[in-house]
Structure 1
């Protein structure tokens, strides 16, 4: 398979542009998404599509920073804001023989951005089932963001580092 034949290479650009339908059209029917929060794998377009939609609604200012790959795999680094918190991430993509995205593995940092992603995406996905599930998910995940941000501010001092990372 030649790089120019790999349609899935356009997926990150579609996400960056906010073109949800264009991004979804580049997914293989049996696509698998592994996120940074749960061990659960989202499998197939019916499961992955709503996650991609929730990401598009929740990750503001999504921008590719770096991109490496070939006709079989792609790695991108990106930045965004999630619930007002700066985030950066790395996504790994694998493509099938038709050049469509067959696997996505997502990593996000810092930890408060992971918690923010869990809160907003979890709430949106649970709300698709019912308003009650959405409210319960939000109530369970929202405190994580504050707890993690507090720990993030305190940790350098507890470890003997100044704010700039110097001892």
Structure 2
């Protein structure tokens, strides 16, 4: 199967170009959040909004691997949010026309995911007309990030194999 849309998606991500990334998507695309099962981003416009915010928050996106079987493609990249390294796996499912129909995201380590929450949440809330929530999200996500980051730096090293 031709993976032209996947190549365009990768190039757009590395260039941090949300408009080019959206061009690789089917009109009925669904993006499944790495943060919560409470919602998905359905349709090009909602995914565009997320991509604009995410690509502004994540620096140095470099795709490292691609694995494909039929209409399913797995991509892997590394990036950075401030000083926090981020690694993401993306499962892409392609429509009959070769455009990306479904995106499922997986982010690690936990402090990268919680840092991402602190960056994306407020701006997404603002764009959805929820200014009060935009002020609340940094507080709640910030507390979660503080716990995850402290655990990563102080406690997990003590449990490492010797």
Aligned-residue CA RMSD in angstroms? 1.6
Partners in 1 of 2:19 and 2:70 — Cα distance? 22
Q: Which digits, 9 at most, give the CA deviation of each residue in 1:60-113, with x for residues without a partner?
A: 111101112256121111001124211111111011011111000100110000
SS at match of 1:90: strand
How many aligned positions are there?
159
Alignment partner, residue 31 of structure 2: 33
Q: TM-score, normalised by structure 1?
A: 0.87
Bigger drift between 136-145 and 57-66 goes to 136-145
Q: Which has the larger radius of gyration?
A: 1
Alignment partner, residue 48 of structure 2: 49
Alignment partner, residue 97 of structure 1: 96
Bigger drift between 30-39 and 129-138 goes to 129-138
Q: Which digits, 9 at most, give the CA deviation of each residue in 1:37-58, with x for residues without a partner?
A: 1002111112211111111001
Q: TM-score, normalised by structure 2?
A: 0.90
CA contact (8 A) 1:94 1:101 kept: yes
Runs of 4+ off more than 3 Å: none
Q: Where does the alignment leave 5 or more consecutive residues of structure 1 unmatched? A: 160-164
Alignment partner, residue 5 of structure 2: 7
SS at match of 1:150: helix
CA contact (8 A) 1:88 1:110 kept: yes
